[in-house]
A and B are shown apart, each in its own frame.
Chain A
Amino acid sequence: EAQVTQNPRYLITVTGKKLTVTCSQNMNHEYMSWYRQDPGLGLRQIYYSMNVEVTDKGDVPEGYKVSRKEKRNFPLILESPSPNQTSLYFCASSPAGGDSSPLHFGNGTRLTVT
């Protein structure tokens, strides 16, 4: 089954404790990205990747890191989480060149930073 798999689904942590949210897709998509969803703001792009070893900042990259060492994986790293990073996070993927192709989303990770 074609899918984007995110883990964990829920995560509660404390300020400053490094964490990683994993994302994997099995559709051989070139493009992968991370979004955060906050009430009243919709979804905003954090980082995106065009292909292996090629990443760039989205609209709200502060406090986050990403890496793309393999085509299928695109982890999101919070090296020193803060309470303002409490949010719902989505990983998404899409094929290159398919502008009308919809994004394939993971099921989301609810992160709480206390």
Chain B
Amino acid sequence: AQTVTQSQPEMSVQEAETVTLSCTYDTSESDYYLFWYKQPPSRQMILVIRQEAYKQQNATENRFSVNFQKAAKSFSLKISDSQLGDAAMYFCAYRIGGTSYGKLTFGQGTILTVHP
């Protein structure tokens, strides 16, 4: 079975600084997708960034980027120029390719605090 592990229950960062959230996963599949979701206090689940396993290039979305290390099964999220609005719970998630019926396997989550 696939598992996703976020080993940092909590992280903090100063406004305008950079922070990296860690995620590792375990799978025997070669075709899969990885996601980072943000959950602010409003409870919404907001997609931050996604990565296709077959792509070697790391995904980037504005201030958010990933470090995808396929051999190490690692998928960390880097937030640059942190803003107060980045404070949230962040979830790493895995989705198998092919017929997944939309199933995501989530990590435990990391609470990010941003200090002014």
Given contacts A42-B91, A48-B103, contact A108 B43 (CB under 8 A): yes
Instruction: Tell me, in angstroms, the Cα distance from A31 to B44 when the chains sit together.
Output: 19
Q: Which of B64-72, B76-84, B94-102 makes up part of the contact surface? A: B94-102
Say which size band chain A's interface belongs to.
Answer: 20 to 34
By beta carbon, the residue of chain A nearest B106 is A42
Residues of A contacting B97 with CB < 8 Å? 99
User: Mind listing 13 A-B residue pairs with CB under 8 Å?
Assistant: A33-B101, A40-B108, A42-B106, A43-B104, A48-B101, A50-B101, A92-B45, A93-B102, A99-B100, A100-B50, A103-B45, A108-B43, A110-B43
Q: B95 contacts which chain A residues (CB < 8 A)?
A: 99
Contacts of B100 in A (CB 8 A): 99
- Contact, CB under 8 Å: B33 / A100: yes
Is B102 within 8 A of A31, CB to CB? yes
> In the complex, which residue of chain B has the Cβ closest to the Cβ of A4?
B45
Number of B interface residues in the complex (CB < 8 A) = 27
Given contacts A45-B103, A99-B96, A100-B50, 6 further A-B contacts (CB under 8 A): A31-B101, A33-B101, A44-B106, A50-B101, A99-B97, A103-B104
B residues contacting A by CB (< 8 A) are 4, 6, 9, 33, 35, 42-45, 47, 50, 52, 91, 93, 95-98, 100-104, 106-109
Q: With an 8 A cutoff between CB atoms, is A94 at the interface?
A: yes
Known contacts being A90-B45, A99-B33, A102-B47, is A45 close to B52, with CB within 8 Å?
Answer: no
- List of B residues within 8 angstroms of A108 by Cβ: 43-45
